Amino acid sequence: MASSPSPITTCGSLSLHPVTFGRRMHQAAYDALGLPWLYVPFACESVGLKAALEGMRALSIRGFGVSMPFKIEILPLLDELAPLARTIGAVNTVVNDGGRLCGHNTDAEGAVQALEEEVGSLRDARVLVIGAGGAARAVAFGVHAAGAKLLLCNRTRDKAEALAAELKGAEVVAYEEALRKPPADIIVQATSAGMAGAASLPFDEAAFSERNVVMDIVYKPLHTELIQRAKAAGAKTIHGGRMLLFQAARQFELYTGKTAPLGVMDEVIREAAAG
Ligand code: ATR
């Protein structure tokens, strides 16, 4: 006897270790909209990634987030890539449309939205991105795709050079000099420095003024030492919770086709950052 389809739609995340924070944020959003949806963190080893994707298809899981190392390992296993995910070469979100898996990069979109919320369109704006790891890469590609003039620097200069070589018109600037006197009014701190327990980047005392907009991608704590210092100097600041919120909201919208309840999701971020 054929069983009737389950009324519950499932989404989730695929990572080496199950993460609960994203679950709380997405589940709170489903619940706020009264959707009979469930968000499940799935743990998986790299060796099982292909089988896990088959399982996702077989179980009609609507979508899932992925973290490192799967952001890159998953690329050849997907059926389709959204243009930005293809250009970046990294996927953090997969949408399952009737068994067809399409990869997106909402990290890049979230970074741009967080910046544009504060400064308006990034087209032709000069933006300094500090860092050249996976997170900085998503920010740099997003900012570049939004039409900004991109300046890059990194503690290890070679990595900034390699990233800049992939981004037409991007310029590499000296790291020490950028921390002394940032060469752009809009500055994005996209390294892991300043995360709970880790020292902040050694910016000069006089690095910031009222002219600056300073975004930190670190979200634990929300109000990093950098954010506090920039604010004290009169700069506008964007803490890492905004990028996190907008990237998750975009995931929600890709999965459900509905506008994300930003306030509800933001509340979860604040609680988690405080805890
Ligand atoms: P993520 O995925 O968080 O970006 P990653 O790929 O390991 O992590 O990259 C970490 C980034 O933070 C790099 O740009 C790293 O600089 P290096 O390439 O010189 O290692 C940067 N980073 C981490 N800690 C730092 C610190 N204390 N000072 C300056 N840069 C730091």
Residue 165 sits at the vertex; the CA angle it makes with 162 and 167, to the nearest 5 degrees, is: 120
Return the amino acid letter for 6: S
User: Cis omega (within 30 of 0) on the bond before 83?
Assistant: no
CA of 191 to the centre of ligand 1 (A): 5
Residues whose beta carbon lies within 6 Å of some atom of ligand 1: 131-136, 154-156, 159, 191-193, 201
Q: What is the pTM (predicted TM-score) of this model?
A: 0.94
Residue 228 carries which side chain, given as an amino acid letter? Q
Count, residues in the chain: 275
Q: For residue 256, report the distance from its CA to the centre of ligand 1, in Å.
A: 34
Strand-by-strand arrangement of the 171-172 sheet = 171-172, 149-153, 126-130, 186-189, 213-216, 236-238
Question: 241 CA distance to ligand 1 centroid (A)?
Answer: 19
In sign, the C-alpha dihedral spanning 121, 123, 128, 134 is positive
Q: What is the pLDDT of residue 4?
A: 57
Q: Which of 71, 159, 220, 231 is catalytic?
A: 71
Nearest to 121 by CA among 147, 144, 149: 147
Does residue 71 carry a catalytic annotation? yes
**Domains of the chain, first to last:** 9-106+247-260 (3.40.50.10860), 108-242 (3.40.50.720)
Q: Take atom 29 of ligand 1 and give the residue whose Cα is closest.
A: 155
**CA-based nearest residue to 14, from 67, 81, 50:** 67
Residues 6+ apart with CB under 8 A from 36: 7, 8, 9
Cα-to-centroid distance, 93 and ligand 1 (Å): 23
Distance 10 CA to ligand 1 centre (A): 34
Nearest CA to ligand 1 atom 18: 156
CA-nearest residue for atom 16, ligand 1, is 155
CA gap 82, 104 in Å, rounded: 5
Q: How far apart are CA 79 and CA 96, in angstroms?
A: 10
**Residue closest by Cα to atom 27 of ligand 1:** 193
Please, which residues have CB within 8 angstroms of residue 17's CB and are 6 or more apart in sequence?
Answer: 43
Best probe residue, ligand 1, of 152, 179, 191 (max atoms within 8 Å of C-beta): 191
Please give the average pLDDT of every successive group of 10 residues along the chain, which has 275 residues. Answer: 70 89 94 97 95 97 96 97 96 97 98 98 98 96 98 98 98 98 98 93 97 96 95 98 97 98 96 81
User: Which stretches does DSSP call E strand in the chain?
Assistant: 9-15, 37-43, 63-66, 80-81, 93-97, 100-104, 126-130, 149-153, 171-172, 186-189, 213-216, 236-238
The atom of ligand 1 lying closest to the CA of 137 is: 4
